[in-house]
Every structure is written in structure tokens, then in C-alpha cells.
């Protein structure tokens, strides 16, 4: 993979994740090339990579746009995400070492500090590191790869959830239970807690849809 296009892919992916490039937004190669001070070729390569990940849709003769996932598809993806994380958690509770536990506790403390700062974007990044540690703690390389791939596709929507009232505080409280279950070696409880933590149903799904509509209205 070309290192420049890889770096650009990561930068554009981050812009999508934090809402700078929003669902449905047109991705103009010339504008992006000027912004990153590169030619259009590595930008085009980066967009192709993002399209292979499902974050971008390339339309023949009309250019690329940020993928906009329909509500039902979004529910299905979160359902799968919940099961993948539950599986990671179940294995992590059985397989994490003392060093893994220490790292998880450090990341949990970082989430607490971010929560207390009142900055949802800071919490978003600390929360990602927390979940990545659980994936790695499964010590199942293929499972980690699949879980990370879907996590990346859902990043913009996971971030939006944290902007819903009280979600950061609730998320951290759920982390506390997950950490305790992992350290206790209780795989089934860990799986159940992570499944509940990730699933978007009822009010949580309604709140996410409202956040998406507000985002689209702000972009109009």
C-alpha cells in the first residue's frame, strides 16, 4: 500500500469519524488535494481504500460521497457489533493476563478523567482505546481483525451516541461493570454486559436518529 495514500486514508477516515465530513457529503478530489497539499492521485487511492471499508461510496461519473447508512442497516450493523464485542469480552475474561488487566484499568482511569472533563470527543478517543484493549485481550487475531473492521465503519455513529444527554456518564458506569467482570474472569457476564453496552434499541436508537437529523440539518 502506498504510504502517502495510507496516511491520507487515515486522515480522511478521522474527518468522517469526528463529523467534519458528514454522511452524504460530497468528497471533491481537488478540494481534498488542496487541503492536504498533494496531487489528486493519492487522494483518489485513499478514497478507493475507504470505499473498500464501506466508509465511502464511489459513484461512476459523479464522484465519491461519505457513506450514509440507512437506519435498518445501522441497526443490523450494531447487532453484529454487539455480538462481536460480546465474543471478545467472553474470551478476554478467560485469557487476559495480569499485564492486560493493568492496561485495561489504566484505560478505564483515562475514560474517567475524560468523563470528568466534560469533553465528549476526548471521551470518544479514550473509549475507543478501552474497547480496543478488550478486543486484543481476546487473544484471537482473526476475531480482533473482524471486530476492528466493523468498529471502523461504525465510528461516526458511535461518536454521535456519546453526544446524547447522559450517554457518557452511562457509558462509563457500564465500563466499570465490564472491567469488574473481566478481572473476575466471568466470561458470560462480560459478554452480556458488552452486548447491552453496544446495542442500540428503543430510546437509544431514537436518540441516535435525532442526533443524525440534527447533524444533517446543521449541514444544510
Cell 457476564 locates to: 189
What's the number of CA atoms in the CB half-sphere (13 Å) around residue 158? 22
Q: Considering only CA atoms, which of 189, 87, 95, 70 is closest in space to residue 145?
A: 87
CA atoms of 178 and 10, how far apart (whole Å)? 30
pLDDT reading at 161 higher than 90: no
Q: pLDDT confidence of 23, banded at 50, 70, 90?
A: confident
Q: What is the pLDDT of residue 201?
A: 57
Fold of domain 71-219:
1.20.120
Q: Domain ranges in the chain?
A: 3-66, 71-219
pLDDT reading at 219 higher than 60: no
Q: In this predicted model, what pLDDT tens digit does every residue of 181-205 receive, in sequence order? A: 999 999 999 999 999 999 875 566 6
pLDDT reading at 218 higher than 70: no
Can you give the chain as a three-state secondary structure string?
CCHHHHHHHHHHHHHHHCCCCCCCCEECHHHHHHHHCCCHHHHHHHHHHHHHCCCEEEECCCEEEECCCCHHHHHHHHHHHHHHHHHHHHHHHHHCCHHHHHHHHHHHHHHHHHHHHCCHHHHHHHHHHHHHHHHHHCCCHHHHHHHHHHHHHHHHHHHHHCCCCCHHHHHHHHHHHHHHHHHCCCHHHHHHHHHHHHCCCHHHHHHHHHHHHHHHHHHC
Question: Whole-number mean pLDDT of the chain?
Answer: 89
Q: What is the pLDDT of residue 131?
A: 98
CATH of region 3-66, choose from 3.30.420.270, 3.40.50.720, 2.40.50.430, 1.10.10.10: 1.10.10.10
Q: In this predicted model, what pLDDT tens digit does every residue of 96-154 receive, in sequence order? A: 999 999 999 999 999 999 999 988 889 999 999 999 999 999 999 999 999 999 998 88
Q: pLDDT confidence of 45, banded at 50, 70, 90?
A: very high
Amino acid at each position: 500500500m502506498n504510504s502517502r495514500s495510507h496516511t491520507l486514508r487515515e486522515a480522511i477516515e478521522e474527518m468522517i469519524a469526528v463529523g467534519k465530513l458528514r454522511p452524504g457529503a460530497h468528497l471533491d478530489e481537488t478540494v481534498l488535494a488542496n487541503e492536504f497539499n498533494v496531487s489528486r492521485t493519492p487522494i483518489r487511492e485513499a478514497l478507493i481504500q475507504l470505499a473498500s471499508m464501506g466508509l465511502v461510496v464511489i459513484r461512476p461519473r459523479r464522484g465519491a460521497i461519505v457513506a450514509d447508512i440507512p437506519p435498518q442497516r445501522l441497526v443490523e450493523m450494531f447487532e453484529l457489533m454487539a455480538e462481536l464485542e460480546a465474543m471478545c469480552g467472553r474470551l478476554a475474561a478467560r485469557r487476559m493476563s495480569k499485564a492486560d488487566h493493568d492496561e485495561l484499568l489504566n484505560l478505564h482511569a483515562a475514560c474517567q478523567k475524560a468523563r470528568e472533563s466534560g469533553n465528549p470527543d476526548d471521551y470518544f478517543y479514550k473509549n475507543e482505546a478501552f474497547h480496543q484493549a478488550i478486543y486484543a485481550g481476546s487473544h484471537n487475531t482473526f476475531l480482533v481483525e473482524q471486530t476492528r473492521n466493523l468498529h471502523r465503519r461504525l465510528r461516526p455513529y458511535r461518536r454521535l451516541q456519546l453526544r446524547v444527554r447522559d450517554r457518557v456518564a452511562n457509558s462509563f458506569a457500564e465500563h466499570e461493570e465490564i472491567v469488574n467482570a473481566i478481572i473476575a474472569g466471568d466470561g458470560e457476564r462480560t459478554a452480556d454486559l458488552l452486548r447491552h453496552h453496544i446495542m442500540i434499541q428503543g430510546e437509544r436508537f431514537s436518540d441516535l436518529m435525532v442526533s443524525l437529523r440534527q447533524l444533517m440539518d446543521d449541514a444544510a
